[in-house]
Amino acid sequence: MVESVHQVNAAVMDAAGTLLHRWGDIEKPVYLRSAIKPIQALPFVESGAADACNATDREISLACASHTGEDIHVDAVTAWLDRLGLGIEDLECGAHWPSYRPAERALAARGEQPTAAHNNCSGKHTGFLATARHLGEPLQGYIHLDHPVQQRIVRVLEDFTGLDLSRAPIGIDGCSIPTLGVPLDRAALAIARFADPSALGAERAAACHRIQQAIACEPMMIAGSDRLCTALNGSARGAVIAKVGAEGVYLAALPKLGLGISMKTVDGTTRGCEAALGAVLETLGVMTDEMHTAMDGFTRPVLKNWNGFEVGQIEAHLDAAQPEG
Amino acid sequence: MVESVHQVNAAVMDAAGTLLHRWGDIEKPVYLRSAIKPIQALPFVESGAADACNATDREISLACASHTGEDIHVDAVTAWLDRLGLGIEDLECGAHWPSYRPAERALAARGEQPTAAHNNCSGKHTGFLATARHLGEPLQGYIHLDHPVQQRIVRVLEDFTGLDLSRAPIGIDGCSIPTLGVPLDRAALAIARFADPSALGAERAAACHRIQQAIACEPMMIAGSDRLCTALNGSARGAVIAKVGAEGVYLAALPKLGLGISMKTVDGTTRGCEAALGAVLETLGVMTDEMHTAMDGFTRPVLKNWNGFEVGQIEAHLDAAQPEG
């Protein structure tokens, strides 16, 4: 018996704007949330801020991360801030307990409270601070839409989506920065251009490749333990660069094929888009044995209860009846 | 902008089987999960087991609970087992960390691990054990469908739904007991009969009223901190007896009106059915100021991010175009 059903809208596009596949509504604006972080990190690299602070792959991956708040993430953010001459108090993302529950329990067992460094977006915010500092901009208020840090990101998003975003829907993300509503077809185009930036000029292409490499080489930093983003970016060996966002959003760049995938679970659940992403990657022929081993627990999981009994599974079904673009 | 959408199927019925309202598909079987616990607790009361162990309202509420694993729950289960001459090792529900995260952190801070008493279903399982012991049945294996404890529950469910459940879909719940697939219209009938048991005979009616009273008087025991079931059962002062289940199921008995409400979020999310339940209760005219104060944070919440900024809200819309039964 099928107990619950998720509908996932998705688009697959190349960097020239050819729509290869579509499932469901891909014209309605979707808040891209954290799924767009690899593109949000571009100004950090392109401005020279990454070079100025000798950013490592770990730090660039962390600048694209929704991390689990484990010690490796918090230590890396803290050390990076320290190198910038900044502190946790400069982060404007708010504090929350680590999402990885063993990390939360370890923190509690040490009698500590979470700080803004534990916020899943603390790496991105450190990248924002590094960019503002490098460019001599005010640090305070870097989360607001009218700050140069956010304005640069809007312009990059306009470049990649080809849209005038001045009248796009604007929400506030969990970490307090603006998140813009972009239709899935344009989101797929944006992440396809990130995958294949050959038409974007040498400097931008180099920045895209540097971010791709950082995520592929440091998959633990972009998410953490027990997370599909880490399993996928680690096992795909650069063939897929993928990032989840809140409310069931996923964006994936396929550099070798020059393709971008965008998807959103209509009901906002992550398990829906995780299963769908596995199915779409399978359809596109990019799944390897190594990827299956790493990813199947997320993309086609067998569900077990508290006694370890198998009680069900999650399966994705691509609706073949949908028109392909 | 509407970011995510949940579809909730729901039925409202009286104890005579008159369908008062319906939204969406109410004929397809739904695993009732923990939402059916108040009815699953009937054999514990009807068999005399509750009297034999001098069960308090707290314990009867706990027998219907999906609790948060806070100290009050764990202490109550442990003391109850002790009075039965049993121990945590007799519980067959498996162990998991408390769902209420401050309780999880407190446990971790004490350097302890969770036991089966922390399992959200430990109260129900203690009720099962008390029943089996009272009736001289084997204790071991009480979670399996062929054990008298589960067979009695199936017969009670057949009485309340009016269905032959011998060929109903059977799943295994998180706590390892069987969960049966029942269409929402019959689930609404079952919980309406629990709300108004006047036609079920004096003994069964008394058992239903005793369970209703226990839940209304001890709302913390049926769920816990930061949970709609506790807010609703506490603020409704007996006018609504409601219980959530996994995968977006809710059942609510309205004893004063003699009505039953059943609902299931198609995608399985709890936030969907919580919002819908508030809207249906509003439609039925049972919401009081006290209930709004207690419940609105769950049924029509304003969403805040980690900095406390208001970033959105959840709203339920009853589709007036749906045919009413």
Which helix or strand (DSSP H or E) is residue A195 part of?
helix A184-195
Q: What whole-number percentage of chain A has pLDDT above 90?
A: 92
Flag whether residue A273 sits within 8 Å of chain B, measured between CB atoms: no
Whole-angstrom Cα distance, residue B82 to residue B84? Answer: 5
Flag whether residue A309 sits within 8 Å of chain B, measured between CB atoms: yes
User: Which residues in chain A are closer than 8 Å to B307, comparing Cβ atoms?
Assistant: 92-94, 176
Residues B84-113 have a mean pLDDT of 97
Partner-chain residue, chosen from A94, A107, A265, that has the shortest CB–CB distance to B307: A94
| Amino acid B122: pLDDT | 98
What residue in B sits closest to A110 (Cα-Cα)? B109
Q: Are A144 and A150 in contact (CB under 8 A)?
A: yes
Query: Quick count: other Cβ atoms within 10 Å of Cβ A145?
Result: 14
The secondary structure of residue B166, as a DSSP letter, is G
Q: Which amino acid is at B325?
A: G
Residues A13-23 have a mean pLDDT of 97
User: Which class in CATH covers the domain with range B8-313?
Assistant: alpha beta
- Joined tokens for residue A207: 């920045």
What number of C-beta contacts closer than 8 Å exist between A and B? 124
Using pLDDT thresholds of 50, 70 and 90, give the confidence band for residue A324.
very low
ipTM of the complex: 0.91
> Domain residue spans in chain B?
8-313
Query: Quick count: other Cβ atoms within 10 Å of Cβ B140?
Result: 10
User: Which residues in chain B are closer than 8 Å to A273, comparing Cβ atoms?
Assistant: none
Give the three-state DSSP class for B85: coil
Flag whether residue B307 sits within 8 Å of chain A, measured between CB atoms: yes
| Amino acid B312: pLDDT | 87
Q: Could you tell me the strand order of the sheet in which B29-31 lies?
A: B29-31, B178-183, B170-172
Q: Are A57 and A109 in contact (CB under 8 A)?
A: no
| A184-227 pLDDT, tens digit each | 999 999 999 999 999 999 999 999 999 999 999 999 999 999 99
Judged by CB atoms closer than 8 Å, whether chains meet at A268 and B3 is answered as yes
Partner-chain residue, chosen from B94, B267, B308, that has the shortest CB–CB distance to A4: B267
Flag whether residue A288 sits within 8 Å of chain B, measured between CB atoms: no
Q: Are B10 and B26 in contact (CB under 8 A)?
A: yes
What residue in A sits closest to B305 (Cα-Cα)? A174
Q: Is the pLDDT of residue B142 over 80?
A: yes
| A128-173 pLDDT, tens digit each | 999 999 999 999 999 999 999 999 999 999 999 999 999 999 999 9
Using pLDDT thresholds of 50, 70 and 90, give the confidence band for residue B307.
confident
| A159-170 pLDDT, tens digit each | 999 999 999 999
More confident residue, A303 or A219: A219
Q: Is the pLDDT of residue A30 over 50?
A: yes
User: Which residues in chain B are closer than 8 Å to A183, comparing Cβ atoms?
Assistant: none
What residue in A sits closest to B169 (Cα-Cα)? A1
User: Which residues in chain A are closer than 8 Å to B144, comparing Cβ atoms?
Assistant: none
Q: Is the pLDDT of residue B185 over 50?
A: yes
Using pLDDT thresholds of 50, 70 and 90, give the confidence band for residue B320.
low
Judged by CB atoms closer than 8 Å, whether chains meet at A172 and B101 is answered as no
Q: Is the pLDDT of residue B325 over 50?
A: no
Q: How many helices (H) and strands (E) does chain A have?
A: 14, 10
User: Which residues in chain A are closer than 8 Å to B3, comparing Cβ atoms?
Assistant: 30-31, 171, 247, 268
| Amino acid A311: pLDDT | 82
| Amino acid B323: pLDDT | 40
| Amino acid A318: pLDDT | 85
Measured in degrees and rounded to the nearest 5, phi and psi for residue B281 equal: -65, -35
- Test the B interface: residue of A113, A179, A305 with most B CBs within 10 Å: A305
* C-alpha dist (Å) from residue A39 to A15, B22, B112: 14, 46, 43
Q: Chain B closest CA to A257's CA: distance in Å? A: 30
More confident residue, B221 or B322: B221
Q: Residue A146: exposed, middle, or buried by beta-carbon count in 10 A (0-12, 13-18, 19+)?
A: exposed
Angle between helices B148-161 and B184-195 (to 10 degrees): 90
Flag whether residue B248 sits within 8 Å of chain A, measured between CB atoms: yes
Average pLDDT, chain A: 95
Q: Please provide the distance, in angstroms rounded to a whole number, between the alpha carbons at the two ends of chain A.
A: 33
Which residues in chain B (186-245) have CB-CB distances under 8 A to chain A?
none
Flag whether residue B311 sits within 8 Å of chain A, measured between CB atoms: yes
Q: What whole-number percentage of chain B has pLDDT above 70?
A: 98
